Amino acid sequence: MIVVGIESSAHTFGVGVVTDNEENFILADERVQYIPKHGGIHPRESSRFLAEKAPQILKNAFAKSSLNPLNIDAVAVALGPGLGPCLRVGATIARTLSAYLNKPLVPVNHAVAHVEIGLKLTGLKDPVTVYLSGGNTAIIAYLDKRYRVFGETLDIALGNLLDTFAREAGLGPPYVVGGLHVVDRCAEEGKKILPDFPYVVKGQDIAFSGLLTTALRALKRGVDLNDICLTLREIAYNSVLEVSARCLMHTRKKEIMLVGGVAASPILKDKFIEMAKIYNASIGVVPPQYAVDNGVMIAWTGLLGFKAGLSIDLKSAIVKQRWRIDEVDILWR
């Protein structure tokens, strides 16, 4: 079975082609990323960029896979969560491709796709999943045909925290250089943890907006930037570590997995490796290439869904900007 997957939830337009051949399941992985010249991602500008680049990326993917498009079995597309204008680019192309080739269309939840590609690449079976990205921070565990959210951010995501501070401090964009976030890189020169920075864990949930505000105020007062980055990083990472450890104990699972763009941070990875040792748990971290948004994860999750009987008609393929991971039935597990 061969499935084409289309991802366009934020700043990346990706096309992946996968097969259920266990030895070499990725046939193509093509992508392009929108990087704003200044400020954060503007949905309209990003969607225009993705729409301009999409035809060539799709063409490249079919060329790389050496496939005749008529020989694919289904088209999968990320319909949410994400930025509405960006999601609509992928949805429009997927509907067109499905109609033109007369192939089934498979809806994919972007967050579920991060988890599923993680399971595929790490080989873990039933982990506590720590999903960290620019728009999401959640601690997830599987139970009774759904991924349940054990804890999550109450305001902004971890990736948003890091990127926003980096932008305001003049550290980026780009925010990731050589696989290391610019805040991580800046923190390496820090010498002390600053007092009076809020560490907010409420039950199983976490919050970062107060931490961001305090860091920005310290920046305006002329406090050493390296010390601010070190304090910001340690508090943010350790709060995620705390609720993740609590989830391990609560669920009694013996595996923990990091997915999402922030999972590419080697600093965060090292912290989780040490935590896993304490709780005698196996740990898996998605390779950096597939921790970020990509079409392969959409294609793979679409393949799993399609084999379980999942598909929709074109009229039902509408985007869902706030489509939560715990609203999705996991038919293939």
Residue positions in the annotated binding site for substrate? 131-135, 163, 184, 265
∠250-255-260 over CA atoms, to 5°?
100
Amino acid 187 reads: A
* Cβ atoms of 283 and 272 closer than 8 Å: yes
Structure tokens at 5: 């997957």
* Cβ atoms of 68 and 290 closer than 8 Å: no
**Residue 251 neighbours by CB distance under 10 Å:** 17
Binding residue positions: 110, 114, 131-135, 163, 184, 265, 293
Report the largest interatomic distance among the alpha carbons of the chain, rounded to a whole angstrom: 62
| C-alpha distances out from residue 183 to 192, 208, 250, 269, Å | 15, 15, 32, 15
- Whole-angstrom Cα distance, residue 331 to residue 305? 7
* Cβ atoms of 50 and 292 closer than 8 Å: no
What is the Rg, in whole angstroms, of the alpha carbon atoms belonging to the chain? 20
What does the chain come to in residues?
A: 333
- Whole-angstrom Cα distance, residue 113 to residue 301? 5
| DSSP H stretches of helix in 66-200 | 84-101, 110-122, 158-168, 182-187
| C-alpha distances out from residue 189 to 1, 299, 328, Å | 50, 41, 43
Cα torsion 199, 148, 123, 9: sign: negative
* Strand-pair partners of 2: 19
Binding residue positions for Fe cation: 110, 114, 131, 293
Q: What DSSP element (H or E) covers 146?
A: strand 146-152
